[in-house]
Chains A and B, each alone.
Chain A
Amino acid sequence: MVEDLYSKASALPYYRPVAGECALFEKAAEEGLPLLLKGPTGCGKSRLVEHMAARLGRPLVTVSCHDETSAADLTGRWLVRGGETQWQDGPVTRAVREGAILYMDEFAEARSDVIVVIHPLTDHRRTLYIERHDEVVKAAPGFLLVVSFNPGYQRGLKELKPSTRQRFVALAMGPPEPAVEIEILEGETGTDAATARRLVALGAKLREVEPLGLAEMPSTRLLVSAARLMLAGVAPRAACNAAIVEALTDDVEIADGLRDLVALAF
């Protein structure tokens, strides 16, 4: 479903730049260039956007795309009220009118009719054509389109067409280096350095698991959740089990094997 997070964040959400992505984001915003963030789940794509929106002082509209999201969900629709029909703007239309940062998460999931609507927003035209309302909306100054997708997962179904891809400035994100990841855990959760170091070492071991055939690598997000649970008073092993092991697999035997590793780390 369309999730319309309309936030004028006041406090700056925590973000630790890994490879100058904040600076690049800022320049892209200045130039009005649409931005494509790609990376595995939980590597901080959404957090980067939230952080930058707060830093640039712009409102943020977030839309999570899925394969049933239609153009009408985004641009707007006619509603029947009493005896008459009324037009209601969708989240994309509102963002374009107000000059907000529009963040479309999991963009590759979107249906082709959605992508067609987005195209004119990404080039020099910077306009949104709303067919149903017969209206052309010119993007207000400050409007910035940011989309994200996860190239690893279910490849193929969620690939972007080259004609779409080439409209974006792309920024690849991945799991951070151990030293940086330790810093992120400390900064995000306020955990102590020793716990952060152990969690990051555990995460590094689990990321070597190609032979196990897990669908996804454990992300920084999982490590953050584990650290949070520990700070909240959950025993370390139970925290790792809930936040990491059970999040990665439903297979009882693989989970047992992962717990063996946790038992030697915590």
Chain B
Amino acid sequence: MDLDWEEGIFRGLLSLGRRFAPVKPLAPPHAALLADHQAALTTFARLIAAEPVRVLPAREAGGVRGPDLLLPPTLALAADPAANRELYRLRTAVSAAARRLSRLSPPELLPGAQELASLRIAHAAVGWLCDELPRFSEAWKVACRLELEARPAPTSLRGRARLVEEARQDALEGGRPWEDAALILALRRSYFRQGPPSSGVLLLGEWFPELEEAAADTGTAPDAGSPEVTSEAEAPAVENLHRVEVDRQELEDAVLMHHFEKTETLDEYRGGARDMDGSDNLDEQLEALREVDLGALVRDGTQTHAALRADLSLDLDIPDAAGEESASRGIPYDEWDVRRRRYRPGWCTVYPIHERVTGGKGGDWAREALARHRRLHRELRLRLERYRAGLRLIPRQLDGDDVDIEALVEYQAASLAGHGDDPRLYVKSHRRRRDFATTVLLDVSLSTDSWNEGRRVLDVAREAVLLLGEVAHELGDRLQVLAFASHTRNRCHVFHLKDFREPWPLARGRLGTLEPQGYTRIGPAIRYATDCLAREPAERRLLLLVSDGKPSDYDRYEGRYGIADVRQALREAERREIHAHALAVDAVARDTLPPMFGPGAWHVLPHPDAMTEALTSVYGRLTSR
């Protein structure tokens, strides 16, 4: 079955066609774009929902899916951008209020007539908002009128779509179509004879059942052995997700239908099973995947080597899904090639990821960890305060605590001699204070998933960073916390858990949500952290690395090569007057840390419990020098 030449011609034509066709329909100039207002709307949504919800772009009208508020990527109902921005505000308010109310009492769903249930939930949210916010009802009426003008006439539609459209317009006019039993019955009866669906209501949005319910695991157990994903691509967010059961029996005796089935099965699953064919690498399939509908979720036990990563957020707290920057934001860094004794220019790409998660599961972890270490926390703070204590007397001041005898004697002598009127006659006591900035670089690679004396290495490390952060925050120090993991030289991720100017409480929850991932390419992480530190105005700059101390990545970043690159990165840091120090729990680090960091700039801890104390002590010593 050799179709290579046909496929090749098709691909060539397709890419030619893509070049001439507009990639995306452009939004009209009066439209408001979600991308411009996403951050502000997220803040606003959290104020209304009173929990850390997320605002994400949807493909169409969007709606509420658990803590995710999916909003249409553009709104162009009104005539100018400011008015459309106002519509975003109203829409966000409705979605966030629906989420808030649903936490108080889970909304009743109407199987077969879910469109009506969505309308009812949105109606309740609108009612709540009218009570809570005085200006809401007036603005809402205007918005409903705009939406009604833009909606298709029900008479232009047929069958079920027409019923739904009528109900939606009725609801926008203030009706209560969900109370109409006959309509519910009619919708249920026509559920399996769906015509083309009418587009959702832009202002109300849909209500989607929680993802956990849709994706509840009843599927087959995965094959033994962990699959290694070798290629990965990003997919757009999907509003609705439904689970599809695969018939194992059918899979046994599958019949090949035609060669475009790969796309077809993915696009809309309508039963039946086929064998996998073609190569298991994503790049070749990317063309087809761009048009795939990811609404159907199939659980299957087979291993894959290629994955299309869709942000389904089954686990809200994976940092990867929380705030990935677009590919254009990658920063290239050189890497040291020890064999050729020269740099490979632009060899690695670092993607900085700014975390937006602020509370939730991670916050609970931080509270629990702090409660457990209350005594240690106090002790460490006192120790650090002692390092810093000490007043310094500054002589010859205009005012101060005491008279400066020496200055006074000189003054007297000078004025008796008839000259000199220096009025600086006092001594002032000043607290000694150093101006320093510190970056903590935390390794979150898969190796930190290992266990040491009954404790996971990552947990040990992040607890240590949590306590250091607490103490530094209490002393008013400037601290930045970065975490890093790599997936080859092209994807080195650095997560900003806390920036210099961010309040520390935000970082607590983010530390708690860290999960082990990827490999340990230390070099680019150090270079990136060096850049961050060098930008920060300070007298002294300090870089603390918490890692297993073993450079590794699966494109041969290891052994002598890796160590030499890290050493080179540290030399670069030193040249920029940044002092680096490393801490590790793993005994393996004894072989690698000394050649990289040099004498006195590393600590390998005998057991994990010593980590917290050691990190803060090293910090205290280095910052009081």
Contacts and interface: CB of A to CB of B under 8 A. Distances in A.
Interface string B371-385: 000000000010000
A200 B625 CA distance: 50
B412 A264 contact: no
A31 interface: no
29 contacts: A70-B401, A77-B401, A85-B403, A154-B473, A154-B474, A154-B476, A155-B474, A156-B474, A157-B474, A157-B475, A201-B132, A205-B48, A209-B46, A212-B47, A213-B505, A256-B39, A256-B40, A256-B44, A257-B39, A257-B42, A258-B47, A260-B92, A264-B133, A264-B135, A264-B136, A264-B139, A265-B133, A266-B134, A266-B135
Interface in B86-101: 86, 89, 92-93
A80 interface: yes
Interface residues of B, number: 49
Contacts of A72: 400-402
Nearest to B429: A70
Listed from nearest, the 8 A-B pairs whose CB atoms lie closest are: A257-B43, A156-B474, A256-B40, A72-B401, A253-B39, A260-B44, A211-B52, A257-B44
B241 interface: no
Interface string A49-73: 0000000000000000001101111
Given A213-B505, A264-B135, A132 B402 contact: yes
B358 A211 contact: yes
B474 A205 contact: no
Contacts of B415: 83
Interface range, A side: 35 or more
A55 to B, nearest CB: 36
A257 B47 contact: yes
A83 B425 CA distance: 12
B47 A261 contact: yes
Interface string B223-234: 000000000000
A115 interface: no
Q: Interface on chain B toward A: helix, strand, loop, or mixed SS? A: helix
Contacts of B402: 72, 77-78, 132
B431 A68 contact: yes
A184 to B, nearest CB: 20
A215 interface: yes
A68 B474 CA distance: 17
A206 interface: yes
Contacts of A198: 134
Interface string A29-56: 0000000000000000000000000000
Contacts of B506: 213
Nearest to B404: A80
A4 to B, nearest CB: 15
Contact of B43 (A80, A156, A254): A254
Interface string B44-57: 11111011100000
Nearest to B381: A156
Contacts of B403: 78, 80, 85
Contacts of B136: 264
Contacts, number: 115
A71 B37 CA distance: 52
Contacts of B37: 256
A205 B172 CA distance: 27
Contacts of A257: 39-47
B455 interface: no
B476 A212 contact: no
Contacts of B476: 154, 157
B430 interface: yes
A147 B77 CA distance: 58
Nearest to B378: A156
Contacts of B292: none
A72 B401 CA distance: 5
B139 A212 contact: no
Nearest to A216: B503
Contacts of B139: 264
A263 interface: yes
